[in-house]
Amino acid sequence: MNGFDLRGRRYLVTGVTNVDSIAWHVAAALQRQGADLVLSSFGRAARIARKAAARLPEPADVIELDITDEDDVADAVRELERRWGTLDGVLHSIAHAPPDAVGGHFLDTPADSAAKGFQVSAYSLQRLAAGLAPLLARSEHGGSVVGITVDSTRTLPGYDWMGVFKASLDAVARYLALYLGPRGIRVNLIASGPLETLSAQGVGTFEALAEHYERWAPLGWDRTRHDQVVGSVLFLLSDLSACTTGQVLHADGGVHAIAGGIGEPPQRS
């Protein structure tokens, strides 16, 4: 086992919009460990994503991938097949909720908004993992699929249907672990605390949420420090996690473990 020496490993990193994207920080860390990368971006953000890719430690190619477009998924698989013929891992860092599915509209959200959010934010993990499974199965280190979720066991005011999509994502990951495990492919999620990104700006209660984490996390939390989750993502993408699958690993300063809001917040020295 080579641990975090990822020289020669090959990864697809989805969900890069700009240098604030969690995926961008994961990409930079993977490169620092020696890994080769292809990034993917989506729609109008592709141009900005190329600029962000140019700011990585090493330049990386960006392919366009709308996860709801079967042709795009097939093209991405073909491109990686042509380029490498194998894949050691993929980061799924993709989510979208229509505006009427978040922000307190829970009781009125129409079916098509709920369905669209589910497709992009949860079902997409199945499309990505199933499409890439033949390449991931050829990894000599065991292929790894990693996604980013939140603590979906509790409600977060304003997060609404996104909370439902994330609970679905957790279940999709477990079923993928069941069906892809026999091919040597692991599927795990990181439940991240709140980080300042473009997507986070779409959550009206983000400020209150981030404040709660920063106040109550036993280990502390800082909404501007993406490195708080990156190490856990790398662990799951590397073969240090060779026998771990179907797992949700919390990278949240410990907030999931406590009932914050009672008594005094932790006093850190």
Ligand X SMILES: NC(=O)c1ccc[n+]([C@@H]2O[C@H](COP(=O)([O-])OP(=O)(O)OC[C@H]3O[C@@H](n4cnc5c(N)ncnc54)[C@H](O)[C@@H]3O)[C@@H](O)[C@H]2O)c1
User: Looking at the DSSP assignment, which residues form a beta bridge with residue 64?
Assistant: 41
Q: Which two tokens stand for residue 141?
A: 């280190």
Q: Indicate the residue among 46 and 240 with the shorter CB distance to ligand X.
A: 46
Inter-CA distances, 179 with 35, 58, 94, 126, 233, Å: 27, 35, 22, 11, 22
Q: Which is nearer to ligand X, 142 or 254 (CB)?
A: 254
The one-letter amino acid at 249: L
- Measured in degrees and rounded to the nearest 5, phi and psi for residue 251 equal -120, 80
The distance of closest approach from Cβ of residue 144 to ligand X in the complex, given in angstroms and rounded to an integer, is 17
Looking at the Cβ atoms of 150 and 237, the one nearer to ligand X is 150
Judge whether 88 and 11 are in contact, CB under 8 Å.
yes
Please give the backbone phi and psi of residue 105, each rounded to the nearest 5 degrees, phi first: -90, 15
Q: Which of 63/239 has CB closer to ligand X?
A: 63
Q: Least CB distance from residue 210 to ligand X, whole Å? A: 8
As a whole number of angstroms, the distance between CA 141 and CA 250 comes to 24
Taking the complex as a whole, the smallest distance from the CB of residue 212 to ligand X amounts, in Å, to: 12
65 CB-contact burial (10 Å; exposed 0-12 / middle 13-18 / buried 19+) = buried
Q: Which of 170/239 has CB closer to ligand X?
A: 170
In whole angstroms, how close is the CB of 225 to ligand X at the nearest point?
12
Closest contact distance (angstroms) between CB of 186 and ligand X is 19
- Distance, in Å, from the CA atom of 130 to the CA atom of 73, rounded to the nearest integer, reads 10
Nearer to ligand X, 118 or 239 (CB): 118
Residues forming contacts to ligand X in the complex (CB under 6 A) are: 15-17, 21-23, 41-42, 45, 65-68, 93-96, 120, 148, 150, 192, 194-195, 197-200
Q: How far is CA 106 from CA 150, 169, 178, 199, 216, in A?
A: 18, 18, 32, 18, 26
Q: How far is the CB of 45 from ligand X (least distance, A)?
A: 5
